[in-house]
Structure 1
Amino acid sequence: MSIQLGLINNLVVNEIAYEGAYLTDAQGNGEVFLKKEELPEGLSINQTLDVFVYEEQGNLTATTKTPIAQLGDFALLQVTSINKVGAFVDLGIGKELLVPFNEQKPKFELSRSYLVKLYLDKASQRLCGSSNLNKFVKQESDRIKKSQEVSIIVAGRTDLGFKVIVNNEFWGMIFTDQVFKPLFIGQKLQAYVAKVREDGKLDIRLSKPGVAGSSELSDVIYEKLVSENGVIHLGDKSDPVAIKKMFGCSKANFKRAIGHLFKEGKIDLAATKISLIK
């Protein structure tokens, strides 16, 4: 396998010089330079290193620092400078990532953070970033199923709720009535598909659907009861805002979960109180 720009590569130390080390892939192909100040103590010829490969002044360069994101990833990155070719965002390795002006939607402002996709520019073969997310995210899913667990990245807020990128590939929506904890742009979470619409668009929820979700919430409530000496002043007549504040869930899900605990004989129920049966 050849050396891959924009990714962490496992490379072999081919030569150690005063200015640094030269690394190749396992077959001895290609060559990247690792600066002297990043050489691990006791480094030897033929030792392997995990390094991130980027381009510096037209040459492939390696770093042992871990980047915030790699080629193909979406990440929330902060703008560090802007010049005549575009904006530069912090990648966490001391080398900024270029986001060309024509890839900025909206136009970037200094010191602000934006969700960007890391891609390889075909013309220049340079690692770049883009906030024009519709170029990389599909509007309709062709292989996601209802109730499937998925990975999501929060991409933006709308009047309906939060737009999310599902499995790094498709757009999805978490509607406002399904948001029971703080969400922020760039946040990565595990979630579940509530519905696949006829047009292929995805409705996403943060909690597990059905019995599985109620059971999981029941465990959280039970642990809270134990930590609160067996009593919580919430019940099936309590204010939904108070329930959301304590457990980050809807009142309907809360009622299902405490109903599950009641049927198991673990709690007593009152209008605004639940208590452990000891």
Structure 2
Amino acid sequence: MTIQLGKMNSLVVNEIAYEGAYLTDDSGNGEVFLKKEDMPNDLAVKQVIEVFVFEEQGNLTATTKTPIAQLGDFALLQVTSINAIGAFVDMGIGKELLVPYNEQRPKFELSRSYLVHLYLDKASQRLCGSSNLNKFVKQEATGFKKSQEVSIIVAGRTDLGFKVIVNNEYWGMVFTDQVFKPLFIGQKLKAYVAKLREDGKLDIRLSKPGVAGSNELSDVIYDKLTQENGVIHLGDKSDPIAIKKAFGCSKANFKRAIGHLFKEGKIDLAATKITLVK
């Protein structure tokens, strides 16, 4: 097992000293220093421990804290300081991540948060960050099928909708007419492929397509009815904005979902009200 910089590693305690512990891989190779303040009280030699490995002053160092993001990840990170070489962002482990000036898109400002990709600088072998996302996200996708479930990270807003990173690798777009709940930069969601275009661009939708999505929404509406003493003052004639605010969905999807509940005999329908059948 090779020790991976910028990742969580399962390492073996080789030696415990006054200043901390020295860790190796399971073959006894490498040396990673775990500071005394990060050591569990019951740590013992030959014990396997899960740690995050980073570089500090030219040495491999470990912490038992779990970082907000690891090598290869995209994450929304806050700027804690700025100096002559770049900005430093909080990783949640007490060790900041450098984002060099030439990797900032736009130029970072103190205390603001930015979507950052964690990469290994080839020259220094140091874990760094970049908000120049086009260097790491591919424009043209292949191998996706319509309705395929994917993971997305919200990367930015445009006139058309929201740019998203699909499966940590490709650009995609959630168009405005598919957005029925608040989205924010850095948000991670489950989503579905609406279309893979001929030019390789991915159209993404947030709701599950077809009957499956309708059934899922039906369950949400039914649960809401039970919480509201069996009555919700929304129906198939209600204002679309009110429906979107209540359930984060389009009026068309809402009508399909309550129609499903009505066919199952679970609710009674009125123009602007649905009632739970008891």
For the aligned pair, the TM-score class normalised by the smaller chain equals: over 0.9
Q: Deviation string for 1:92-123 (max 9, x for gaps)?
A: 11111111111111111111110000001111
The CA distance in 2 between the partners of 1:160 and 1:129, in whole Å, is: 28
The CA distance in 1 between the partners of 2:226 and 2:89, in whole Å, is: 46
SS in structure 1 of the partner of residue 215 of structure 2: helix
Letter in structure 1 aligned against 2:186: G
Residue 186 of structure 1 corresponds to which residue in structure 2? Answer: 186
Q: What is the deviation of 1:193?
A: 0.8
SS in structure 2 of the partner of residue 223 of structure 1: helix
Residue 155 of structure 1 corresponds to which residue in structure 2? Answer: 155
SS in structure 1 of the partner of residue 72 of structure 2: coil
Q: Does residue 1:141 correspond to 2:141, yes or no? A: yes
Q: What is the deviation of 1:45?
A: 0.7
Residue 10 of structure 1 corresponds to which residue in structure 2? Answer: 10
Residues 10-159 of structure 1 correspond to what in structure 2 (within 5 A)? 10-159=10-159
Residues 218-229 of structure 1 correspond to what in structure 2 (within 5 A)? 218-229=218-229
Q: Deviation string for 1:42-76 (max 9, x for gaps)?
A: 21110011000001101100000111100000000
Residue 217 of structure 1 corresponds to which residue in structure 2? Answer: 217
The CA distance in 2 between the partners of 1:12 and 1:194, in whole Å, is: 46
SS in structure 1 of the partner of residue 138 of structure 2: coil
Q: What is the deviation of 1:201?
A: 0.8
Letter in structure 2 aligned against 1:253: N
Residue 235 of structure 1 corresponds to which residue in structure 2? Answer: 235
SS in structure 2 of the partner of residue 221 of structure 1: helix
Q: What is the deviation of 1:146?
A: 0.9
Residue 263 of structure 1 corresponds to which residue in structure 2? Answer: 263
The CA distance in 1 between the partners of 2:125 and 2:42, in whole Å, is: 34
CA RMSD of aligned residues (A): 0.8
SS in structure 2 of the partner of residue 91 of structure 1: coil
SS in structure 1 of the partner of residue 200 of structure 2: coil
Letter in structure 2 aligned against 1:42: D
Residues 169-180 of structure 1 correspond to what in structure 2 (within 5 A)? 169-180=169-180
SS in structure 2 of the partner of residue 102 of structure 1: helix
Q: What is the deviation of 1:83?
A: 1.1
Residues 245-260 of structure 1 correspond to what in structure 2 (within 5 A)? 245-260=245-260
The CA distance in 2 between the partners of 1:144 and 1:125, in whole Å, is: 34
- The total of aligned residue pairs comes to 278
Q: Deviation string for 1:126-182 (max 9, x for gaps)?
A: 110000000000111112211011100000011111100000000111111111111
Q: Which runs of 5+ in 2 are unaligned?
A: none
SS in structure 1 of the partner of residue 125 of structure 2: coil
Letter in structure 2 aligned against 1:123: A
Letter in structure 1 aligned against 2:258: I
The CA distance in 2 between the partners of 1:5 and 1:75, in whole Å, is: 18
The CA distance in 1 between the partners of 2:276 and 2:124, in whole Å, is: 65
| Stretches (4+) displaced over 3 A | none
SS in structure 2 of the partner of residue 258 of structure 1: helix
SS in structure 1 of the partner of residue 244 of structure 2: helix
| Same amino acid, percent of matched pairs | 86
The CA distance in 2 between the partners of 1:204 and 1:34, in whole Å, is: 43
The CA distance in 2 between the partners of 1:134 and 1:144, in whole Å, is: 20
The CA distance in 2 between the partners of 1:276 and 1:94, in whole Å, is: 52
Q: What is the deviation of 1:262?
A: 1.3
Residue 168 of structure 1 corresponds to which residue in structure 2? Answer: 168
Q: Which runs of 5+ in 1 are unaligned?
A: none
Higher mean C-alpha displacement, 20-29 vs 261-270:
261-270
The CA distance in 2 between the partners of 1:18 and 1:163, in whole Å, is: 50
The CA distance in 2 between the partners of 1:117 and 1:250, in whole Å, is: 33
